[in-house]
Amino acid sequence: MKKGMVPALGTPLDEQGNLLAESYEKQIERMIEAGSVALLSMGSMGQQAFIRNEVCVRVAETAVKATRGRVPIFVGAMDNSIVRAKQRVASMEHLDIEAFVFTTPYYDIDTQAQVLHYFREVAASTKHGMVLYDLPSVTKFKITYDMVCSLRRDVPNLMGIKSADLNMLRKISLNPEMRGMKIYYSGLDSFDIAYLWGIGSVLDGMPTCTPVNTEKMMRALDSGDRAEAARYLDNIIALRDFFLANDLWPCYSAAMNMLGFAGKHAPDWAAPLSEATEAAVLAEMQRIGEL
């Protein structure tokens, strides 16, 4: 896979929680136009934890069909038990994807031994690759360097890790035994530094609602213009911070709608925005040049 941006796609749903396939296909096309080198379907920003199982299959199938083999597809299959995760994997095993992506179980898991057992069992159930997703802010469990080393030795289809832990990623990249292990950096605030340092792939959900700034940032990075890259990254971070200060999910959903990606890109429990906040989202999107 080429070095570059890997957007975590938003998942547009109707009021009954069904996929709006046309909107999803439109988003995928825009991400490919913006220079994405791969796509993550149903990551944390893609509502994987909130989508009905049968809809997950439809989402993954639509992503594979829409990309038409132009870029690799990763599919989130996170869950809270081995049997449930295996069930998700089995329902999508027929698809032509690069890998399944797994966080640690995110409800009442306590020890490294439990997590390692979970990853080994789930990985053994698929012919596809496996990517670890280190997301301790949500799962409340940190994947460590030692855990990655242990899994690398006995999980042959472990192909990569997504994390914002630069210290761990540095150790992985310098370890000869980890040769071939793909690194996907998810620390938005230091995307540019990590990319210039040599981490070839960066993965986050914000590029889906900032395709203009993301494309310009990646072009600046590839041309060596650090100041220009930082300017566009600052725009993306500012929008992210605005979302966080004003209710992340509905703000993100409103921004996606403004870009022409219809549907609800937020969990069904997310309250709608006030008119004033929606107007502020619009103003922020215009300020950074996305509209």
Contacts of 261 (CB under 8 A, 6+ apart): 10, 12, 23, 24, 26, 27, 30, 208
pLDDT of res. 195: 86
At residue 209, the pLDDT reads 98
Task: Supply 4's token pair.
Answer: 């570059």
Is residue 177 domain-resident?
yes
Q: Nearest CA to 255 among 236, 230, 269, 268? A: 236
Q: pLDDT truncated to tens, each residue of the chain (291 aa)?
A: 678 999 999 999 999 999 999 999 999 999 999 999 999 999 999 999 999 999 999 999 999 999 999 999 999 999 999 999 999 999 999 999 999 999 999 888 889 999 999 999 999 999 999 999 999 999 999 999 999 999 999 999 999 999 999 999 999 999 999 999 999 999 999 989 888 878 878 899 999 999 999 999 999 999 999 999 999 999 999 999 999 999 999 999 999 999 999 999 999 999 999 999 999 999 999 999 999
Q: Return the amino acid letter for 175.
A: N
> Does residue 265 lie within any of the structural domains?
no
What CATH number corresponds to the domain at position 166? 3.20.20.70
Query: Total domain count for the chain?
Result: 1
Domain range holding 82? 4-208
> Looking at the domain assignment, is residue 255 inside a domain?
no
Q: Which residues sit opposite 40 in a β-bridge?
A: 8, 74
For strand 99-102 and strand 129-133, is the pairing parallel, antiparallel, or unpaired? parallel
d(CA 153, CA 177): 9
Residue 256 maps to a domain: no
Q: Is 68 left (phi over 0), alpha (psi -120 to 50) or beta?
A: left
Residue 39 lies in a domain: yes
Predicted confidence at residue 111, as pLDDT, reads 95
Q: Identify the pLDDT of residue 197.
A: 79
Residue 242 resides in a domain? no
Strand partners, 197: none
Residue 97 lies in a domain: yes
Q: Please report the pLDDT score of residue 201 as a whole number.
A: 86
Q: Is residue 284 part of a domain?
A: no
pTM of this prediction? 0.95
Task: Spell 128-165 as b/e; 16+ CB within 10 A means b.
Answer: bbbbbbbbeeebebbbebebbeebbeebeebbbbbbbb
